[in-house]
Amino acid sequence: MKKIAKLSLSALAITAALAAAPASAQQYTFMTGPQGGVWVPLGGALKGMWEKAMPGLNITATPGAGLANVRGVDEGKAQIGMSNSSSAVDGQLGKAPFKGKTTKVCQLANLYPQFFQVVATKDSGVTSFKDLKGKRLVTQPKGNTGEALTAAILQLNGMTYKDLDKANFQAGYTDAVSMMKDGHADVFTLGTVAPASSVMDLANARGIALVPVDDATMKGMQAMNPAYNKLTIKAGTYPGQDKDVAAIGYFTHVIVSCDLPADTVYKMVKIMAENIDTMASVSKSMANLTPQVMATEMGVPLHPGAAKYYKEVGAM
Classify 26-112+251-312 by CATH class.
Answer: alpha beta
Q: What is the pLDDT of residues 225-255, one digit of tens each?
A: 878 889 999 999 999 999 999 999 998 999 9
Q: What is the DSSP string of the chain?
A: -HHHHHHHHHHHHHHHHHHHS-TT-EEEEEE---TTSTHHHHHHHHHHHHHHHSTTEEEEEE---HHHHHHHHHTTS-SEEEEEHHHHHHHHHT-TT-SS---SEEEEEEEEEEEEEEEEEGGG---SGGGGTT-EEEEPPTTSHHHHHHHHHHHHTT--GGGSSEEEE-SSHHHHHHHHHTTS-SEEEEEE-SS-HHHHHHHHHS-EEEPPPPHHHHHHHHHH-TT-EEEEE-TTSSTT--S-EEEEEEEEEEEEETTS-HHHHHHHHHHHHTTHHHHHTT-GGGTT--HHHHT---SSPBPHHHHHHHHHTT--
Other C-beta atoms within 10 Å of 60: how many? 11
Residue 85 C-alpha from the chain's centroid: 9
The neighbouring-strand residues paired with 106 are 256
Q: What is the pLDDT of residues 155-184, one digit of tens each?
A: 999 999 999 999 999 878 999 999 999 999
**Residue 261 backbone zone (phi > 0: left; psi -120 to 50: alpha; other: beta):** beta
Q: Where are the domains positioned within the chain?
A: 26-112+251-312, 115-250
Could you tell me which of 171, 144, 170, 146 has the C-alpha nearest to residue 67?
144
> What tens-digit pLDDT sequence spans the chain (316 residues)?
444 344 344 444 433 433 444 445 799 999 999 887 889 999 999 999 999 999 999 999 999 988 899 999 999 999 999 998 888 999 999 988 889 999 999 999 999 988 999 999 999 999 999 999 999 999 999 868 889 899 999 999 999 999 999 999 987 899 999 999 999 999 999 988 899 999 999 999 999 999 999 999 999 999 888 788 899 999 999 999 999 999 999 989 999 999 999 999 999 999 999 999 999 999 888 998 999 999 988 889 999 999 999 999 999 9
CATH code, residues 115-250: 3.40.190.10
What's the confidence (pLDDT) of residue 96?
81
